[in-house]
Amino acid sequence: MSSQPALPRPDVLVEEDVDAERGSELAKRFHLFLHDSDDHTYEYVIDLLGAVFGYSKEKAFAIASMIDGNGRGIVETADYETVRGHQDQIHGWGPDPRIPHCAGPLSATIEEAP
């Protein structure tokens, strides 16, 4: 009897590799970015993040601060249909009523996660 472990059959490895590739293709994830805007208040962003994602005021404030400092920030990572639906909700919020010259909603973009 050999002390080396038995090697798996090559045909099983091929099937597992194909399934793994299919699984990773189905599991693609996407980032939803919210972009900074001087025409929207923190209150607007906090209300939006709470309504769309259910984030607490504290979490929404932290995200709003990050976006303000970096120019944009990830508000969600999920499958494409989920982030696309949330992007539509964000764009549907319209202008910030607290800013008279605000012309429209915040910008939200989708990028495939690495």
pLDDT tens for 87-109 read 999 999 999 999 999 999 999 99
Q: Which residues contact 107 (CB under 8 A, 6 or more apart)?
A: 34, 35, 37
Indicate the domain borders of the chain: 38-112
- pTM value? 0.75
pLDDT tens for 44-100 read 999 999 999 999 999 999 999 999 999 999 999 999 999 999 999 999 999 999 999
**Residue 102 to residues 22, 33, 40, 106: CA-CA distances in angstroms?**
45, 20, 7, 10
Eight-class DSSP state of 85: H
Euclidean distance between the first and final Cα of the chain, in Å?
46
Architecture label for domain 38-112: 2-Layer Sandwich (3.30)
